[in-house]
Amino acid sequence: MRASRLLTLLMLLQTRGRQSAPALARMMEISVRTVYRDIDQLSAAGVPVWGDRGRSGGFQLREGWRTQLTGLTVPEARAIFMAGLPGPAAELGLGEAMATAQLKLLAALPSDWQADAQQVAARFHLDPIDWFRSAAPPPHLQAVAEAVWHTQRLALRYESWQGVNQRIVEPLGVVLKAGTWYMAARRAPDAQKERPREPHVYRLAAIQSLEVLDQFFERPRGFDLADWWARETARFEAGVYRGEARLRVNEAGLKTVLAFSALVADAALASAEPSAAHEGWIELRMPIESVAHAARQLLRLGSDGEVLAPAELRDALASTYRTLAQRYDRAG
């Protein structure tokens, strides 16, 4: 355990340069006292690590010194081969590069590990595309990815729910979610001293035209794409649901409700209680976007559930069922 922690500390100093003790403690999820103790251990082992005190101080390795302790463990090698998704890599224009990198990594592994690492691709396959969805990437994906990498601004013609508009953005990252590519980007400031704007989500398929500009920008310090995406998706999902419905469902109906979304499932399970009116049924509450959207969604319940409130939602479903009954009666 300690050897692994010391190696991690050494790799962080080698790859990220000077780091303060509190920063190292956060990254390694250990105490600051443990960082100081591990630094002393590295120094005693002959690693040329030194530190400066003060606000801008920190620990760093002697310039030009690099460790050769970079060997992979078997689980680490498996993880790297598992992470190499061929589909997304090819869509980004990195398919050949990824294949070459995996060959180099395979050649660098000890001979008794090579077969184990190769078995990953034979036994595990990750398909990020949902059922009945096209896997064709959006036409501007590779250009966006290059602009993200080189921190270049993009001029977009973009279609949103507000209409089609032109804008200049600073791309910060790309995300593949459920087979759909998105871009994290912030609007470029109109004036030189204008305060930087917050990043927004752009669906790449909604980009009608794109031009990579010969303008470069500085990425916001500390921007973490994964953390930002998690916060943004949580905010979006919470903001979508603007109302609440009360339902009575049987076991099959509960399974249908739980499949709507993770947020709906959490709310339904948290509020579920046995129904006093119908033995074996339960009553629950679920968030809804709107009456119209919920009516379309809850048609999937069929006879396995009943909307108790709000009245507008009951009326919408009743009206739909009456229309369907009349239509099928005529057809008969």
For residue 295, name the pLDDT band (cuts at 50, 70, 90).
very high
243, 293 Cβ separation under 8 angstroms:
no
* Structural domains of the chain, with CATH: 2-61 (1.10.10.10), 74-123 (no CATH), 141-223 (2.30.30), 241-331 (no CATH)
- Asked if pLDDT for residue 186 goes beyond 90, the answer is yes
| Encoded amino acid at 317, one letter | L
pLDDT in tens, 102-135: 666 666 666 666 676 667 666 766 676 777 666 6
| Encoded amino acid at 109, one letter | L
What is the reported pLDDT for 245? 96
CA distance 146 to 92: 9
Q: Output the average pLDDT for the chain.
A: 84
Q: How far is CA 163 from CA 90, 158, 191, 210, 319, in A?
A: 31, 8, 25, 17, 32
Residue from 18, 181, 223 nearest 90 by CA: 181
Q: Is 142 helix (H, G, I), strand (E, B) or coil?
A: helix
Token pair recorded at residue 262? 């993770």
pLDDT in tens, 301-329: 999 999 999 999 999 999 999 999 998 88
Q: Are strands 273-274 and 282-288 parallel, antiparallel or unpaired?
A: antiparallel
In DSSP terms, 181 is beta-bridged to 176
What is the reported pLDDT for 249? 97
